[in-house]
Structure 1
Amino acid sequence: MSALSCEGLTIGYGDGAPVIDGLDLGIAEGAVVALLGANGAGKTTLLRALAGLEPVRDGRILLGGRDLTDRSTEDRVRSGLALVPEGRSVVVELTVDENLRLGGLWRHKSKARKAAVAQMYELFPPLERRRGAAGHTLSGGERQMLALARALLARPEVLLLDEPSLGLAPKATAHLLGVLRETAARTGLTVLLAEQNVTGALSVAQRGVVLSLGSVVADRPAAALAADPALRHAYLGF
């Protein structure tokens, strides 16, 4: 059984043509899958629909075999699905520490929550140094670390990430993707990672799925995808 799967998923806005059209996708438990494609391919729309933020015209979304298609976003989070959207969404009025404690509020009792927050500081040392700083004072890289750490505190079964490296310096990107790879390997977390940074995404993923105009045009092991120049030139731009 897949940790997360879509069956015949169709998503669109208003009466227009579908953005995602009859998509079938399954992600094994503990796998890191890179979701790739040019701007407009449908990556963000797919992640938002999986998280319950976009309506589904047709098809099903399953989490560990449980049908989530008509469930609210809150129900999906409580079922073990978490989304880190593009844009480093943190509560900018709160401090780093307050953001992290908020992320673990409903998953942990007080003592366990403190230990979980401490673990996030170990994973992301820059956040430890800025723990009393307000979110609006953080750099782009620090905000992205905070958004990821807050999502991990909720202990999801499946983590959806939308362009986590967007706008980050190479060093910050390498650290972020490295933490993601290590966390997935250590905890068995399942990850669907939408990225324009194809090389970085394929370096941490076991598998790559390429979207074009809302349909899957390639689904291969990450190494095989990276080594296919014709496919890379046609759909990934390098």
Structure 2
Amino acid sequence: MTIGSGIHVPVMLNEVLDHLNLKKDGTYVDCTFGKGGHSRAILKELKKEEHLKELGIKEVDGFLLDLGLSSNQLAEEQRGFSYRLSSPLDMRISQEIRLTAEDIINNYSYERLADIFYHFGEERKARVIARKICHRRQKEKITNSEQLVGIVASCFSHKTNKHPARKVFQALRIFINNELENLTKSLEIALKYLAIDGRIIVISYHSLEDRIVKQIFKKRALSNNFQIITKKPLIPTPKELSENHRSRSAKMRVIVRKV
């Protein structure tokens, strides 16, 4: 994650290094390199970096998946990830993806919008919000995040500490970028490549991601080939929370291959 100075602050760095069980000659893969905060710390310990496909590596001693967006990504106005900025409704992590949030908001049916908000954002007012979006777009095209935030906010009568549009924006981002399916595929690949005594560490930031990680780890642990290290997910320390508020929703789970 990134804080105001633009310096990247990797979430739960000490916990990651403690649980990777680093070996001097080991092979480690940061599947969500991003700004590379965790990778730099690992490479400082190991003095090397390797890539599975390029070097034909068949086993990996540790995988890290940090599933959070950095503040720099959220602050890119042309992406439209942030509900605190006025920006185009895009929300594509990669430009190779054709579907945008604007396409969805202006063209999807009421039923499909409600399903997206409910299943990918766990938004209890999904139907109310979807209905209001459909009503508004009959009058004008919804093209920016400020318009969408205004529509969503108007569906809530009471103010809370959390932004009213956060779940809708989360749902759109997850749906557009196929994040849950990609997470499942990434974990299956990591489990396949993991060496004996190797570890997979996943840091998630909302319940949908954490649920997938928990279920996949639990299923693998039933085979006795894997062991879950974190019976309950690890969370940031009070000190880290005070220094990096974006870590507040982070949960870390770890699994090790035994056989």
Calculate the TM-score normalised by the size of structure 1: 0.35
Structure with the greater alpha carbon radius of gyration: 2
Q: Which of the pair is proportionally richer in strand?
A: 1
Larger relative CO (CA 8 A, sep 6+): 1 or 2?
1
Calculate the TM-score normalised by the size of structure 2: 0.33
